[in-house]
Amino acid sequence: MKALMKLKKGEGNVEIENIPEPFPGSEEVKIEVKAAGICGSDIHIYHDDIKIPVKPPVVMGHEFSGIVTEVGKNVTEIKVGDAVTSETAASVCGVCRYCRTGNYNLCPHRLVIGYWINGAFTRYCVVPKERIHKLPKNVDFISAAMYEPLSCCVHGVIELTGVTVGDVVVITGPGAIGLLTLQIAKAEGGRIVMCGTFQDQKRLKLAQELGADVIVDIQKENASEIISDLTGGYGADVVFECSGAPKAANFGLDAVRKQGKYTQIGLLGRPIEVDFEKIAYKEIKLTGSFSQKWTDWELALKLLSQGKIKTKPLVSDILPITRWKEGFKKHEEKTGIKIILTPIE
């Protein structure tokens, strides 16, 4: 089968290779991939600048959905023909503090599909049975390919931050993560201010369609003034920084009100300069959010099947795996939002 692989460390070294079909171990499930999304971290794997461990040669792709075609001999709860998606933590230690408390997204021994273990930019992949989630009947494969980023956002917004009805919520970065964060915060009852740049015109418009109450082009408009007007001069109750841009992080620390909450969801990729003292003066409750775990997935499944969140409007392109270069380029140049790759016959 054809597979998009990171072949060795260093810049690039990503190619389509022909590899044998995998077979499931006794506790594993084999999935025929129907749709797999390109994530920002795939671009980082391409450039070899991500801190999550990568072990080439490895099949890339970790945001996917598909149909079960085979199960290991000890798998009883999942059947051939089930429509499913899978979490990305293919291997965790099971004995550390984080594993034992259900926070295995933070396990120091966590190994991830598409980074360390063969992933989903191919026809078949194999995952441990405990990471599988069955798709709700009314969720299609394309929408379901976004359960992974959606679960990451559920983790950041609901599990780690919490929005109270009426909160003014500022989101920086209207990419896929920002647009999912927006819909979750909206579902929680927030009044959403989505901030982007000149480059983001289309994405800002989509943000509006997905429920943003106010959209702000920070290059054209005075975002601080707009937020101040909306909050009686206090500032935002909650800020979700989803862009990973240093300017946005600094803007977020300014935009949040005293005693407000700031959550860093976007990855910056390098140390940046911020005025850390603001956190003290303003008593900001600051947290970060990393990856996802079982409880996030279960909630994400409900939100999508109840129609509280829509992932399909985020899909800008559906391409065969052989056109991966085009997909990666579109992602990097921000001319697409979520680009889906599909396996080749």
Nearer to Zn ion, 75 or 112 (CB): 112
- Identity at 135, one-letter amino acid code: L
Q: How far is the CB of 157 from Zn ion (least distance, A)?
A: 16
Q: How far is the CB of 107 from Zn ion (least distance, A)?
A: 3
Q: Which stretch binds Zn ion (CB under 5 A): 39-47, 167-175, 251-259, 332-340?
A: 39-47
Q: Which residues of 30-43 are buried (b: 16+ CB within 10 A; e: fewer)?
A: bbebbbbbbbbbbe
Residues within window 67-96 making contact with Zn ion, judged by CB under 5 A: 92-93, 96
Confirm if 87 and 294 have CB atoms less than 8 A apart: yes
Q: How far is the CB of 99 from Zn ion (least distance, A)?
A: 3
Confirm if 187 and 180 have CB atoms less than 8 A apart: no
Nearer to Zn ion, 16 or 96 (CB): 96
In SS3 terms, 264-301 reads as ECCCCCCCCCCCCHHHHHCCCEEEECCCCCHHHHHHHH
Q: How far is the CB of 152 from Zn ion (least distance, A)?
A: 7
Q: How far is the CB of 247 from Zn ion (least distance, A)?
A: 23
Nearer to Zn ion, 123 or 338 (CB): 338
- Number of Cβ within 10 Å of residue 133's Cβ equals 19
- Identity at 261, one-letter amino acid code: K
Query: Going by C-beta distance under 8 Å and a sequence separation of 6 or more, which residues neighbour residue 122?
Result: 1, 2, 3, 4, 19, 33, 59, 61, 321, 343
The SS3 of residue 262 is strand
Q: How far is the CB of 171 from Zn ion (least distance, A)?
A: 18
Could you say which DSSP state residue 158 is in? I
Nearer to Zn ion, 61 or 260 (CB): 61
Residue 103 phi/psi, 5-degree rounding, is -100, 50
- Structural tokens at position 26: 């006794």
Nearer to Zn ion, 24 or 114 (CB): 114
Residues within window 105-164 making contact with Zn ion, judged by CB under 5 A: 107
Nearer to Zn ion, 103 or 305 (CB): 103
Q: How far is the CB of 116 from Zn ion (least distance, A)?
A: 14
**Binding letters toward Zn ion, positions 218-247, x by CB under 5 A:** ------------------------------
- Structural tokens at position 85: 């998606």
Nearer to Zn ion, 107 or 179 (CB): 107
Nearer to Zn ion, 39 or 255 (CB): 39
- Structural tokens at position 99: 């594993």
Confirm if 229 and 236 have CB atoms less than 8 A apart: no
Find tokens 């003066």 and name the residue: 281
> How long is the chain?
345
- Residues that bind Zn ion (rule: CB under 5 A) add up to a total of 6
Q: How far is the CB of 221 from Zn ion (least distance, A)?
A: 31
Nearer to Zn ion, 183 or 231 (CB): 183
Closest among 30, 291, 292, 2 to 121, alpha carbons compared = 2
Residues within window 93-112 making contact with Zn ion, judged by CB under 5 A: 93, 96, 99, 107
Report the residue from 39, 113, 120, 158 that binds Zn ion according to the rule CB under 5 A: 39
Does the footprint of Zn ion cover residue 52 (CB under 5 A)? no
Q: How far is the CB of 332 from Zn ion (least distance, A)?
A: 15
Q: Which residues bind to Zn ion, rule: CB under 5 A?
A: 39, 92-93, 96, 99, 107
